[in-house]
Amino acid sequence: MTMPVERTRCVIQTGDFLRELSKSQQIPEPFRIEAARMLRHYPEPRLLLHAAWLDEVIHSTEPGDPRRELAISGYPELFSSSLDE
């Protein structure tokens, strides 16, 4: 089973990998262009880490706890349940 820390690390490393691909002259141009296109919508590490911190607060506190309510109210809209635009 994948642990949250492993998932977070992997998502951040994927962004790093796409950045490297998009800049490498050793990679064919169509792949560099596609990597750059994907990066335009890829979340920055600080946003991912902020959402992860909020997740930790939400999951480690009881309903009604002011810290939990504050974390929920500050949670960024990061993903969608639909792939339709």
With helix as H, strand as E and coil as C, how does 11-78 read?
A: HHHHHHHHHHHHHCCCCCHHHHHHHHHHHCCCCCHHHHHHHHHHHHHHHHCCCCCHHHHHHHHCCCCC
Domains: count for the chain: 2
Same-domain check for residues 38 and 50: no
pLDDT tens profile 22-55: 999 999 999 999 999 999 999 999 999 999 999 9
Same-domain check for residues 53 and 35: no
Q: Is 11 contained in some domain? A: yes
Same-domain check for residues 35 and 48: no
Range of the domain at 38: 1-42
User: Looking at residue 78, what is its pLDDT?
Assistant: 86
Closest CA to 34 of 18, 45, 10, 49: 18
Q: Average pLDDT over the chain, rounded to whole?
A: 94
Same-domain check for residues 33 and 48: no
User: Looking at residue 79, what is its pLDDT?
Assistant: 87
Same-domain check for residues 29 and 1: yes
Q: Is 84 contained in some domain? A: no
Q: How far apart are alpha carbons 51 and 65 in whole angstroms?
A: 18
